[in-house]
Amino acid sequence: MSDTLEIKDLKATVDGHEILKGLSLTVPKGEVHAIMGPNGSGKSTLAKVMAGHEDYEVTGGSVLMDGEELFDMDVDERSRAGFFLAFQYPLEIPGVSNANFLRAARQARLPEGEEIDAVAFYKEMYARMDELGMDRKFTGRSVNEGFSGGEKKRNEILQMVMLDPKYAVLDETDSGLDIDALKVVAHGVNAMRSPERGFLVITHYQRLLDYIVPDVVHVLFDGRIVKTGGKDLALKLEAEGYDWVKDEVLANA
Ligand code: ADP
Ligand code: MG
Query: What pLDDT shows up at residue 1?
Result: 58
Q: Where are the domains of the chain?
A: 4-95+166-252
Mutation to probe ligand 1, out of 13, 14, 237 (largest number of atoms < 8 A from CB): 14
Query: What pLDDT shows up at residue 176?
Result: 82
C-alpha of residue 162 to centroid of ligand 1, in Å: 29
H or E element, residue 70: none
Ligand nearest to the CA of 55: 1
**Spatial separation of the C-alpha atoms in residues 80 and 74, rounded to whole Å:** 10
The CATH class that applies to domain 4-95+166-252 reads alpha beta
Beta carbons of 115 and 166 less than 8 angstroms apart: no
Q: Which residues of the chain have pLDDT under 70?
A: 1
Q: Is the CB of 135 under 6 A from ligand 1?
A: no
* Closest by CA position to 53, among listed 104, 13, 93: 13
Query: What pLDDT shows up at residue 228?
Result: 96
**CA-proximal residue: ligand 1, atom 5 (nearest):** 42
Q: Is the CB of 223 under 6 A from ligand 1?
A: no
Q: Is the CB of 42 under 6 A from ligand 1?
A: yes
Query: What pLDDT shows up at residue 180?
Result: 87
Ligand nearest to the CA of 41: 1
Q: Is the CB of 41 under 6 A from ligand 1?
A: yes
pTM of the model: 0.95
| Exposed / middle / buried, residue 168 (Cβ in 10 Å: 0-12, 13-18, 19+) | buried
Query: What pLDDT shows up at residue 204?
Result: 85
Q: Is the CB of 144 under 6 A from ligand 1?
A: no
Beta-sheet strands, E only, within 15-103: 17-28, 32-36, 56-65, 68-69, 83-86, 93-97
Beta carbons of 138 and 125 less than 8 angstroms apart: no
How many CB atoms lie under 10 A from the CB of residue 189? 21
Ligand nearest to the CA of 57: 1
